[in-house]
Structure 1
Amino acid sequence: MCQAGRMSASPKLPFHLTRDEFLAWCPDDGQRWQLLDGEPVAMAPARFGHAALQSEASRLLSNHLAARGSPCVVLTAPGVVPHFRAGVNFRVPHLGVTCTPVPPDAVFLPAPVLLVEILSPGNERDSWANVWAYTTIPSVREILVLHTREVRAELLRRQPDGNWPANSLQVTQGELVLDSLGFAGPVGALYRTAGISGTG
């Protein structure tokens, strides 16, 4: 996702851009774009299972935060800026949560604490590259990766020393716990409307 309304549809795709150039270039063509190491990359429309999983996760997390009276907010497809190579990156997770006030005209999410990536056939390499980039954002405490071929969540949680674990925590049944939000609930609830069998 980039700042809409700056150019007309069907622009000539530039070869390499800085983040500021990317935000100025962004076409108003209804397509969502990311900047990956200086290269603008269009994001494909989500398939039903992916979109349902994204919607359900957003609803569950938002309801949880509202019930707690939390100031944190869940945003769909927010722009985030990795700490590493910040000048040539503008990544777009499927969901992001911040507990910092967000100005209405903000272009990217300030101080995200949780970022969510949804793996679909064909996007796994880019999604895992995004996960690596998210680990460089100092405010991020957890990264949740949701699979669309099966009920499976992978959770990476920043350790007390600031490092990330070598391996993700695999959750295929039972309870998913997100320390960053004080959330706990059945992992299967995320998949309620996604049409994927085997919910836990």
Structure 2
Amino acid sequence: MVAVRRSTFSDMTVAEFLDWSGDGTDTRHELVNGEPRAMAPASATHAYLQVALARLIEGYLIDRGSPCRAATEAPVVPGLSSNVNLRVPDLAVTCTPDDPDGRLLPEPVLIVEILSPGNERDTRGNLWAYASIPSVQEILFVHSTRVGAELHRRRNGDWPTDPLVIGPDEELVLASIGFRVPLTQIYARTRLVQRPD
């Protein structure tokens, strides 16, 4: 990802970023330490996974009558350096009513990011930002080049050093929302799962 710097500000605040009209292209951005950072376009597999996760999780929440809601690409603000940082995860779940202006996702409990070869380093770099949000209970990284996931789960207020690695024959369990599904179900409509002829 390429950083885009505005000439009118030395460091952009979250409020300025939310009002910013962009760099004149259709490129999406996140705010990283006061600088807009361009987000690489998603691959088709990334997009399929994002849709599958959103459909499965939101459908589950609706079926259970949960007050929680899933949102794709909704902006969240880290708990640390919150004035100059804003991230846009692939999917997030909140159980809190919307902010009055509806611009930010309030109090996410679950953050989901899909790892792609072109953005994996930056995406993993967002882990600290998500972990610093007090309401976040789980952070899920889903691979887009193979069937696999990594789940970071807060325990007794702390984040373990290593994530729970979930393989293709295992079940994904998201305790934050009481959701469970075979991991391969998320990948069912991608090229990564073998289909019978």
**Given the two structures, how large is their TM-score scaled by the length of structure 1?**
0.88
- 2:175 aligns with one of 174, 179, 183: 179
Report deviation, 1:41: 0.8
* Structure 1 segments unaligned to the other structure (5+ residues): 1-10
Give the root-mean-square deviation of aligned CA atoms.
Answer: 1.9
Secondary structure at the aligned position of 2:126 is classed as helix
Contact 1:176 1:186 in 2 (8 A): yes
Supply the distance in 2 between the matched residues of 1:107 and 1:29 (Cα, whole angstroms).
21
Contact 2:5 2:36 in 1 (8 A): no
Supply the distance in 1 between the matched residues of 2:91 and 2:26 (Cα, whole angstroms).
19
Supply the distance in 1 between the matched residues of 2:148 and 2:98 (Cα, whole angstroms).
31
Report deviation, 1:13: 3.5
Question: Structure 1 residues 198 and 85 mapped into 2: Cα distance closer, same or farther (>3 Å)?
Answer: farther
- 2:20 aligns with one of 19, 25, 29: 25
Question: Structure 1 residues 163 and 23 mapped into 2: Cα distance closer, same or farther (>3 Å)?
Answer: same
Identical amino acids, percent of aligned pairs: 48
Report deviation, 1:33: 1.1
Report deviation, 1:131: 1.6
Counterpart check, 1:58 vs 2:54: yes
Report deviation, 1:22: 1.7
Alignment partner, residue 112 of structure 2:
116
Report deviation, 1:104: 7.4
Which portions of structure 1, spanning 4 or more consecutive aligned residues, are displaced by more than 4 angstroms?
Answer: none
The amino acid of 1:50's aligned partner reads: H
Supply the distance in 2 between the matched residues of 1:93 and 1:107 (Cα, whole angstroms).
14
Alignment partner, residue 75 of structure 1:
71
Secondary structure at the aligned position of 1:156 is classed as strand
Question: Structure 1 residues 75 and 35 mapped into 2: Cα distance closer, same or farther (>3 Å)?
Answer: same
Report deviation, 1:105: 3.9
Contact 1:141 1:157 in 2 (8 A): yes
Supply the distance in 2 between the matched residues of 1:138 and 1:61 (Cα, whole angstroms).
22
The amino acid of 1:152's aligned partner reads: G
Question: Structure 1 residues 181 and 12 mapped into 2: Cα distance closer, same or farther (>3 Å)?
Answer: closer
Counterpart check, 1:42 vs 2:76: no
Supply the distance in 1 between the matched residues of 2:127 and 2:192 (Cα, whole angstroms).
23
Supply the distance in 2 between the matched residues of 1:66 and 1:30 (Cα, whole angstroms).
32
**Given the two structures, how large is their TM-score scaled by the length of structure 2?**
0.89
Alignment partner, residue 140 of structure 1:
136
| Deviation larger for 91-100 or 105-114 | 105-114
Alignment partner, residue 163 of structure 2:
168
